[in-house]
Every structure is written in C-alpha cells, then in structure tokens.
C-alpha cells in the first residue's frame, strides 16, 4: 500500500525478453556474470519477483503478452492472439493508461507484422501503433532476424519522438530458439563441450540479449527518457530445453 500511486503519471515501458529465465540472474560462467544488466536492475532501486510463473499455452510468446496486457490467462488450445483478436479488451493496459491521460500507446517488435496475428491483436488491445520489422532498417541480424542491438537502437529513436506521458511495449527477439549468436558476438568465454550444446548456445544468446538490453537502457538514459519512466522487465517463457521440431 505504501507504494500506491508512487509512479502516477510517469511514462511506462514494458520490455518482454525472449526465453529469459530467472535462474540466470546472479549466475556466473567462468567468473563472468551471464546477465549483468538484469543483475544491476534487481540490485538497484527496483522490485523483483522471484516466485513468478509463466502458465503459457501453445501461444508461447504471445500468451505472455496476453497475460501482461490483459491479466487474462491463455486459452487451453491455440493462441488467443490468433483466435480472440475480435474481442474488445476494455481492461487492457494500453486502454487503461490512455483513459488516464496517456498520450500514446505503441508496440515494438523486430519481427514479421503478421506473426501471431500481432497487427489486429495490438489494435484490439488499444495500441495506437505497432512497429514491426517493416518499420526498421534490417542492418544487423542475430538468430531469427533483426538483432536486439539494432532493434533497441532504432526503437529508442522512435520512443524519443513520442509525446509524454507514453506507454511503450517492447518485445525482444535475439534470445529465441535455436539460440544462434555469431561467434564474434558471444559475450561469454565458454568452451564448447563444457556444457551441452543447446545449453551453451542458450547461455550465449541470453548473455547477448542482456547486454543489448543494457545498451538500450543506457541509450534511453542519455536521451533523458528514463527521468520519469517506470520500467517493467520480464521473461516471456521457459527457454533452454525446449523440444524443437
């Protein structure tokens, strides 16, 4: 109760990290932290929730968004983003914030606009705009597509143009299975074979994603965009060990 209203009127930034699992926070490999950015966030003037669970269904990443943006649980079959985009969602986070004086609510994701039906679903949820990969210069790729480093850099430029108070929902990509980060971009000094191949790749992908997140937050800070912004960072679902066909 003592924190009620403490961030009233501030900008809101939600950052959804692909396949980032909480057990990585505070862990080291060869004396080097896997997630230095998240470590610092947890330590420095923030609230962290370690007993959080991700009851996603077959909608995976989109189910995590569904729960975050609406407080509704996923469907028992199929993705709500695909099956329920015709609903109105009067209690969604974008609509609630805009009803309380927020100027804009925009979503950002460096992947295909049609994936998980995000275009129609974001509109149903009350976002004023959705910036997908076709709104970005695809100048650097890691894993499935646009690298987190490039995505965050270009997203910071877009957020800087928003009228305050704003709500920005940012969805990362580079931590996605099959966790392929080029050798010259892998942050950890980790010999192949020390762990299983997939776990090694997972650690490198999440270490890369964490460092890209750190650059994003530093960029926003340099622009003065964090002076009055509430930041929420969370992982969307479980990662290493995903059976992939």
The residue among 178 and 2 whose pLDDT is bigger is 178
Per-residue confidence (pLDDT) for residue 238, from 0 to 100 = 86
d(CA 75, CA 81): 10
Question: What's the whole-number average pLDDT of the chain?
Answer: 94
Per-residue confidence (pLDDT) for residue 243, from 0 to 100 = 39
61 is catalytic: yes
| Residue partners of 178: CB distance under 8 A and separation at least 6 | 143, 198, 201, 244
Per-residue confidence (pLDDT) for residue 44, from 0 to 100 = 81
What's the full length of the chain, in residues? 245
One of 61, 70, 155, 229 is an active-site residue; which one? 61
């Amino acid at each position: 109760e003592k924190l009620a209203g403490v961030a009233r009127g501030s900008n809101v930034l939600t950052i959804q990290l692909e396949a980032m699992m909480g057990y990585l926070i505070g862990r080291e490999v060869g004396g080097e932290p896997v997630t230095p950015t998240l470590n610092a966030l947890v330590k420095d003037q923030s609230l962290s929730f370690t007993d959080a669970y991700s009851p996603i269904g077959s909608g995976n990443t989109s189910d995590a968004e569904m729960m975050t943006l609406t407080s509704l649980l996923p469907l028992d079959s199929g993705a709500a983003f695909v099956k329920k985009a015709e609903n109105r969602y009067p209690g969604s986070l974008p609509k609630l914030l805009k009803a309380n004086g927020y100027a804009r609510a925009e979503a950002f994701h460096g992947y295909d606009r049609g994936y998980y039906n995000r275009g129609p679903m974001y509109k149903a949820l009350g976002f004023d705009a959705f910036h997908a990969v076709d709104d970005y210069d695809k100048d650097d790729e890691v894993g499935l597509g646009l690298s987190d480093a490039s995505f965050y850099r270009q997203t910071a430029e877009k957020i800087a143009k928003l009228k305050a108070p704003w709500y920005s929902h940012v969805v990362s990509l580079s931590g996605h299975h099959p966790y392929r980060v080029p050798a010259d971009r892998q942050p950890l000094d980790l010999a192949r074979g020390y762990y299983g191949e997939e776990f090694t790749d997972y650690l490198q992908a999440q270490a890369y994603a964490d460092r890209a997140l750190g650059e994003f937050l530093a960029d926003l800070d340099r622009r003065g965009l964090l002076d009055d912004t509430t930041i929420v960072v969370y992982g969307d679902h479980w990662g290493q060990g995903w059976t992939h066909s």
